[in-house]
Amino acid sequence: MAAQTLRAFLVIFHLPLVGGLAVDTILGDRVQFPETEQCSERGATLQHTLTGGIGQTVARLEDVWKPAAGYKDRMSPNETVVLNRSNINDQGLYRLSCGSEEKRIHLNVITSSEKSVPEGQAAAFIFHYFTAGELGMYRVKRNTQLVFELDLSSGSTSQGSGFENRTSVAPHWRTDGDLTLTLQGVKPEDRGDYFLYVLKDRKRGHLQAVRMRVSPALNTPEERNPEQIPCTPQPPCKEKTALICVSVAAVLLIAGAFFCGQKMARICGSKVSGGAAAGGAPTELEMQPYTDTPFPVVNGHA
């Protein structure tokens, strides 16, 4: 039940820090404090510890968790503390005081870059690290799932399930520190948040995040016909002549549509309905909110 509701959140838990749980979120995503759901002590509070050790109350448990001043625009009363639109100032240590118990939660707000990769193409996740001395474990995860791992000491690699034989780094990584990961043959189910980091002394260093979307496969060259311009005429319109232009455009459109219907159904049709008609994956693919991905919340390895 709880797991079900948690799926919608882009939150990742990893190995507990010294006396606490760590939660990752990407900047701008909403963040949930799952531990608050388990607390049922009236008067319980969730406090954010600011620089200097000052505690700022985020929410208080009455019948449900209610936002404190300063959080009302981002949090609705709920059984769990959920902050809509995380910002960089949200990161840091949180203390959940539930009755006599206190729990510590460390929130990492991670900035991410975005990329859109056409289905079937290769994706490159750029990553550089000092491999001439410091060693550790280079790891790439998709959400919580392992994609690729490289032991920087031994050079041995492993690939996550579903990513077998599709991931690689350039062979010269040891001399130039270029650990850019190439993922071949991107599939729709590869979309998600990729986290790249080096694990050393049980700490993640150089953490980088990339939110990847998968767009429909590119058209094949034969289907890309440069002579299909008449299908969508767009004459340049100035304000004074706008009316005339609109009329001309309408006439051209109708004529074009008629012409398309009569003569060039295949070519024009493919232009109008985009990737799907052109043999690619449905365009909805790109539109699907990424949060649709079932997102198991696990206490994974950091």
Ligand X SMILES: *[C@@H]1O[C@H](CO)[C@@H](O)[C@H](O)[C@H]1NC(C)=O
Cα separation, 282 vs 274, in Å, equals: 9
Q: How far is the CB of 5 from ligand X (least distance, A)?
A: 4
Q: How far is the CB of 34 from ligand X (least distance, A)?
A: 8
Which range binds ligand X by CB under 6 A, 49-57, 80-88, 250-258, 283-291? 80-88
* Residues contacting 159, CB < 8 A, separation 6+: 146, 147, 148, 149, 165, 166, 167
Which range binds ligand X by CB under 6 A, 57-65, 71-79, 205-213, 261-269? 71-79
Concatenated DSSP letters of 121-155: S-EEE--B---SS---EEEEEETTEEEEEEETTT-
Contacts (CB under 6 A) with ligand X, residues 165-184: 165
Q: What's the distance, Cα to Cα, between the start and end of the chain in Å?
A: 25
Of 74, 104, 206, 211, which lies in the binding site for ligand X, with binding defined by CB under 6 A? 74
Of 164, 222, 227, 239, which lies in the binding site for ligand X, with binding defined by CB under 6 A? 164
- Under the binding rule (CB under 6 A), the answer on residue 161 touching ligand X is no
Of 25, 36, 47, 80, which lies in the binding site for ligand X, with binding defined by CB under 6 A? 80
Contact criterion met (CB below 8 Å) for 194 and 210: yes
Do strands 81-83 and 123-125 pair parallel, antiparallel, or not at all (unpaired)?
A: unpaired
- 197: which 2 tokens? 């980091």
- Under the binding rule (CB under 6 A), the answer on residue 145 touching ligand X is no
Where do contacts with ligand X occur on this chain (CB under 6 A)?
Answer: 5, 8, 73-76, 78-80, 82, 84, 164-165
